[in-house]
């Protein structure tokens, strides 16, 4: 009995202790042959020390986080595999320290975009907007997370009959730039006097879900900055489901050529799809909201990081969707407008071709089940000409990223209207 109690105490201590990443390195590795790919897939599935920031599914470049006690193992491994590699982050903790100085928490409702804000601050700010703009802002709770946190959604509607856009962000816990960007854009829609932005605010109904995974986000702030999933208990040692693999449409349906779902059946995996679709209350809440509002949305936009890409359905198929040409044209214009702001080039295309397989994602669910014709995942900044940061993007990049994303939205709306979508009422 004492031994069992000791184990429980040790596990509880580990779970409560905040993870640090002192001297953790991130390498970019190049997978160029089958031997390397098989080895990296095995490493991703079995290692509790190495952490891939993108699952190694094909030949190509991947970022791999390596803890100090695995440096020699990593060197031996890449030498044995003759694998090209480059050190891109020397000390990950230094990046985290820059994200939120002293891990400070501002008072509820005090909102800015100089730092990444907490769940409480963002939700309080949303509530304050309803008080400030009572005639056209409405805040509702569409559901609760596994740990009981509210999933707050803000509707901005200035005119009856407008077509609508749903903006989902921060469904992956460690992608802090998601909620920071969506809230900045929302603030611009409410306060900007630029005519093109005023047009968006007046002639489109906007539904913002800034934090689609509040438990996971809070956990990244208090325990483990690199956490990706929800926080539901899956086993004695494994927590969380990848919420962007848990939606019902095409859940666990493999891609027709590779046979990959882009997810895992292992509960400890970062891309665990869950014991069944909609096992996660966060995903179920989004689905129920979309179901209750069928027919009003012309666009569903999911904000993620990081890749500099605009992805569209399906995440498990290479077969073009019926309006593939429209999605490509609208996406291209969105990327063009984005590029003009700060010179960041985004790729546009089907998710399988541009990035990787991912069945059961929100973009596919919105498009496939609810027939929302413009459905994109924006993979935003993380690493590029401005530096290699991955998911640990310093706060000084919040506003530049958000500025170019607002331009991307302007380009999207402009081009979509050429196809009769998001038309002015």
Three-state SS string over the chain comes to CHHHHHHHHHHHHHHHCCCCCCCCEEEEEEECCHHHHHHHHHHHHHCCCCEECCCCCCCEEEEEEECHHHHHHHHHHHHHCCCCEEEEECCHHHHHHHHCHHHCCCCCCCCCCCCCCCHHHHHHHHHHHHHHCCCCEEEEEEEECCCCCEEEEEEECCCCCCEEEEEEECCCCCCCHHHHHHHHHHHHHHHCCCHHHHHHHHHEEEEEECCCCHHHHHHHHHCCCCCCCCCCECCCCCECCCHHHCCCCCCCCCCCCCCCCCCECCCCCCCECCCCCCCCHHHHHHHHHHHHCCCCEEEEEEEEECCCEEEECCCCCCCCCCCHHHHHHHHHHHHHHHHHHHCCCCEEEEHHHHCCCCCCCHHHHHHHCCCCCEEEEEEECCEECCEECCCCCCHHHHHHHHHHHHHHHHHHHHHHHHCCCCCCC
Query: What is the reported pLDDT for 11?
Result: 43
Ranges of CATH 3.30.70.340 domains, the chain: 17-90
Ranges of CATH 3.40.630.10 domains, the chain: 106-229+242-418
pLDDT, tens only, 94-114: 888 877 654 454 554 579 999
Percent residues over pLDDT 70 in the chain: 94
**Banded model confidence at residue 240, pLDDT cuts 50, 70, 90:** very high
Give the chain's mean pLDDT: 91
Lowest-pLDDT range, 53-67, 119-133, 171-185, 321-335? 53-67
301 vs 75, higher pLDDT: 301
**pLDDT above 80: residue 135:** yes
Per CATH, domain 106-229+242-418 is 3.90.800.10:
no
**Banded model confidence at residue 3, pLDDT cuts 50, 70, 90:** very low
**pLDDT above 50: residue 378:** yes
Q: What is the mean pLDDT of residues 321-342?
A: 98
Query: What is the reported pLDDT for 88?
Result: 87
Quick one: tokens of 332? 């291209």
Q: What is the mean pLDDT of residues 52-68?
A: 86
Query: What is the reported pLDDT for 16?
Result: 54
Contact 136, 157 (CB under 8 A): yes
**pLDDT above 60: residue 79:** yes
**pLDDT above 70: residue 151:** yes
Q: If DSSP states are collapsed to H, E and C, what string results for 181-198? A: HHHHHHHHHHHCCCHHHH
Q: Which of 307, 314, 348 is nearest to 331 (CA)?
A: 348
Q: What is the mean pLDDT of residues 291-306?
A: 97
Q: Annotated catalytic residue: which of 379, 396, 403, 407? A: 379
**pLDDT above 70: residue 238:** yes
Query: What is the reported pLDDT for 104?
Result: 52
Match domain 17-90 to its CATH number in 3.40.50.1980, 3.30.1490.190, 3.40.50.970, 3.30.70.340.
3.30.70.340
Lowest-pLDDT range, 36-45, 123-132, 176-185, 208-217? 36-45
Contact 375, 366 (CB under 8 A): yes
**pLDDT above 80: residue 115:** yes
- Count Cα neighbours of 350 within 13 Å in the Cβ-side half-sphere: 17
Contact 234, 272 (CB under 8 A): yes
Cβ-Cβ contacts under 8 Å for 143 (sequence gap 6 or more):
151, 281, 282, 284, 285, 286, 288, 289
Q: Catalytic site residue 132?
A: no
């Amino acid at each position: 009995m004492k031994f069992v109690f000791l184990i429980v105490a040790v596990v509880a201590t580990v779970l409560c202790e905040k993870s640090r990443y002192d001297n953790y390195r991130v390498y970019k590795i190049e997978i160029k042959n089958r031997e390397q790919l098989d080895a990296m897939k095995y490493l991703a599935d079995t290692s509790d020390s190495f952490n891939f920031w993108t699952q190694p599914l094909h030949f190509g470049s991947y970022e791999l986080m390596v803890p100090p006690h695995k440096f020699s193992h990593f060197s031996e491994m890449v030498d044995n595999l003759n694998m090209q590699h480059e050190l891109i982050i020397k000390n990950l903790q230094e990046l985290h320290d820059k994200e939120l100085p002293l891990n400070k928490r501002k008072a509820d409702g005090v909102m800015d975009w100089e730092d990444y804000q907490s769940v409480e601050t963002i939700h309080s700010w949303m509530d304050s907007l309803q008080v400030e703009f009572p005639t056209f802002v409405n805040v509702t709770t569409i559901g609760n997370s596994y740990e009981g946190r509210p999933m707050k959604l803000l509707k901005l509607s200035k005119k009856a009959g407008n077509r609508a856009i749903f903006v989902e962000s921060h469904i992956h816990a460690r992608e802090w730039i998601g909620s920071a960007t969506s809230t900045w854009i929302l603030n611009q829609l409410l306060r900007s006097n630029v005519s093109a932005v005023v047009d968006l605010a007046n002639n489109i109904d906007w539904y913002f879900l800034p934090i689609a995974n509040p438990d996971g986000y809070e956990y990244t702030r208090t325990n483990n900055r690199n956490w990706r999933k929800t926080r539901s208990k899956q086993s004695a040692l494994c927590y969380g489901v990848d919420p962007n693999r848990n939606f019902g449409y095409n859940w666990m349906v493999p891609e027709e050529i590779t046979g990959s779902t882009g997810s895992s059946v292992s509960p400890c995996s970062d891309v665990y799809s869950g014991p069944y679709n909609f096992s996660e209350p966060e995903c179920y809440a989004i689905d129920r909201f979309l179901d209750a509002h069928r027919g009003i949305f012309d666009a569903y936009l999911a904000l993620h990081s990081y890749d500099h890409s605009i992805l569209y359905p399906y995440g498990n198929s290479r077969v073009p969707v019926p309006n593939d040409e429209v999605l490509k044209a609208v996406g291209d214009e969105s990327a063009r407008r984005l590029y003009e702001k700060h010179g960041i080039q985004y790729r546009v295309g089907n998710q399988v071709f541009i990035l990787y397989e991912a069945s059961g994602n929100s973009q596919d669910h919105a498009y496939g089940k609810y027939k929302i014709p413009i459905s994109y995942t924006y993979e935003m900044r993380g690493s590029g000409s401005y530096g290699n940061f991955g998911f640990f993007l310093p706060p000084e990049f919040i506003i530049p990223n958000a500025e170019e994303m607002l331009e991307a939205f302007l380009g999207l709306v402009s081009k979509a209207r050429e196809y009769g979508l998001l038309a002015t009422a």
